[in-house]
Amino acid sequence: MWETVRLWVREARHIAVLTGAGVSAESGVPTFRDAQTGLWARFNPQDLATESAYRANPQRVWDWYVYRREMIAAVSPNAGHEALAAFSQRHPGRMTLITQNVDGLHQRAGNTDALALHGSIAEDRWLDAPRVCCQVDKLEAGRPPRCRVCGNLRRPAVVWFGEHLPADALEAAEQAAHGCDLMLVVGTSGEVYPAAGLAFAAHQSGARVVIVNPEPTPLDVVAEHCLREPAAVCLPALLG
Ligand code: OAD
């Protein structure tokens, strides 16, 4: 099976790679839905990853993002991120990397043009549409920081439940899904749309789909092969 997938990688004209939290698990970043260690096993997403939760309790949600931001700043890309970055550098234009991860580890490994469907935890933006008074160099410090004139809050530049994905990144990801001949789906539970739908789009457009995940997922139905290994083992073996 491995040799077959390695051959598909060599032969593919264009490869789309869709990643999720599992690709960062071996860097020490917790996933969301793993039963024991996942963030959503310990925290309720409705309390921490929605706009209404932020408006109800901005300090609590801000502090949770600061905690994750600091944890992520202390870890490093792993062999999986590095294999993807090395492949893109060796084969310019042959791979589109689409990620649901907000941790920036693909970018730190060298995939600076990864399509970040769910934003970036390292960045902030305004909660409400900024007015003339809203200037990032004139913030009132606090948790969260706010405009010192009108009180508009800063918020993490991530996509929360119920929010739209960045239109440009989603459109480019959809184009890659429809245009690729091989899609690798790595370390995602396939539970969250529209990202999960990209695997179905690739399959419907005639691409081979290969899943890299130690556990079964709802996307397995469209996969030609499911490689039940950790990403940091699988990706160097497939792409090296
Ligand atoms: P999940 O936590 O839902 O799924 C992580 C997947 O990674 C699971 O299927 C695991 O089996 C798999 N996994 C764990 N360790 C792995 C490893 N070493 N190698 C490969 N796979 C491994 O994370 P996502 O699918 O990314 O949204 O979740 C999607 C979105 O839901 C996230 O982007 C986040 C979350 O709510 C936002 O923050 C908007």
Residues 193-231 pLDDT 10s: 999 999 999 999 999 999 999 999 999 999 999 999 999
Query: Could you tell me the residue ranges of all domains in the chain?
Result: 1-29+76-118+164-240, 34-74+124-158
Please state, in angstroms and rounded to a whole number, the distance separating the CA atoms of residues 83 and 220. Answer: 23
| Site to substitute for ligand 1 among 19, 40, 213, most atoms within 8 A of C-beta | 213
Please state, in angstroms and rounded to a whole number, the distance separating the CA atoms of residues 239 and 14. Answer: 13
Contacts 24+ apart (CB under 8 A), 232-235: 232/26, 232/78, 232/79, 232/80, 233/79, 234/80, 234/186, 235/23, 235/79, 235/80, 235/83, 235/84, 235/186
37-51, 75-89, 154-168: lowest mean pLDDT where? 37-51
Q: What is the pTM of this model?
A: 0.96
For residue 56, the model assigns a pLDDT of: 95
* Residue 118 known to be catalytic: yes
Q: Are the CB atoms for 118 and 165 separated by under 8 Å?
A: yes
Q: Are the CB atoms for 140 and 125 separated by under 8 Å?
A: no
Angle at 109 between CA 158 and CA 76, to 5 degrees: 80
Out of 3.40.50.720, 3.40.50.1220, 3.40.50.2300, 1.10.3720.10, select the CATH number for domain 1-29+76-118+164-240. 3.40.50.1220
AA letter at 225: H
Q: Is the confidence at residue 34, as pLDDT, over 90?
A: no
Q: Is the confidence at residue 141, as pLDDT, over 90?
A: yes
- Residue at token pair 């932020």: 54
Please state, in angstroms and rounded to a whole number, the distance separating the CA atoms of residues 61 and 183. Answer: 35
Q: Are the CB atoms for 76 and 22 separated by under 8 Å?
A: no
For residue 239, the model assigns a pLDDT of: 97
- CATH code: domain 34-74+124-158 is 3.30.1600.10
Q: Which residues line ligand 1 (CB under 6 A)?
A: 20-22, 25-26, 31-34, 38, 45, 49, 100, 102, 118, 158-159, 187-189, 191-192, 212-215, 217, 230-231
Q: How far is CA 140 from CA 27, 45, 63, 126, 214, in A?
A: 34, 28, 16, 13, 46
Q: Can you tell me which atom of ligand 1 is nearest the CA of 118?
A: 39
